[in-house]
């Protein structure tokens, strides 16, 4: 099976396409692929546990790793204790490691 990295920079509150990206990530994972969804810039707004989009992230289920950029979280005043269950914080170095992982396909939005 393949390995995918979906990088989401957009807020789900400003673009309907973001929810489609979540579905793409979940769909790939449901077919047995290794999928990481990396939220950065305004994409981290969905990771706050009280957001309406947080349920969508939590529903991605098994096989999808969801990471939120630490810098973007801090810049938006979101503490790691506010993240929806199943979302972990990660630094830019983790993103670089994922991008450089041999054979991983990146989808950047």
pLDDT in tens, 21-45: 999 999 999 999 999 999 999 999 9
- Cα–Cα distance, 99 to 97 (Å, whole number): 5
Is the pLDDT at 52 greater than 90? The verdict is no
Q: What is the model's pLDDT at position 61? A: 73
Q: What is the DSSP string of 57-81?
A: HHTT-TTEEEEEEHHHHHHTT--GG
- Cα–Cα distance, 71 to 83 (Å, whole number): 14
For residue 10, what is the DSSP state? S
In this structure, which topology does domain 3-108 adopt according to CATH? Hypothetical Protein Ychn; Chain: A, (3.40.1260)
pLDDT in tens, 82-95: 999 999 999 999 99
Per domain, the residue ranges of the chain are 3-108
pTM of the model: 0.94
- For residue 55, give the nearest of 99, 87, 102 by alpha carbon: 87
């Amino acid at each position: 099976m393949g390995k995918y990295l979906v990088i989401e920079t957009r807020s789900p509150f400003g673009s309907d396409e973001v929810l489609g990206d979540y579905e793409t990530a979940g769909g790939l994972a449901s077919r047995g692929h290794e999928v990481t969804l990396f939220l950065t810039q305004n994409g981290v707004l969905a990771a706050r546990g009280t957001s309406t989009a947080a349920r969508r992230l939590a529903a991605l289920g098994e096989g999808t790793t969801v990471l939120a950029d630490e810098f973007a979280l801090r810049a938006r005043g979101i503490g790691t204790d506010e993240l929806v269950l199943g979302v972990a914080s990660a630094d830019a170095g983790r993103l670089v490691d994922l991008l450089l992982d041999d054979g991983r396909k990146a989808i950047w939005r």
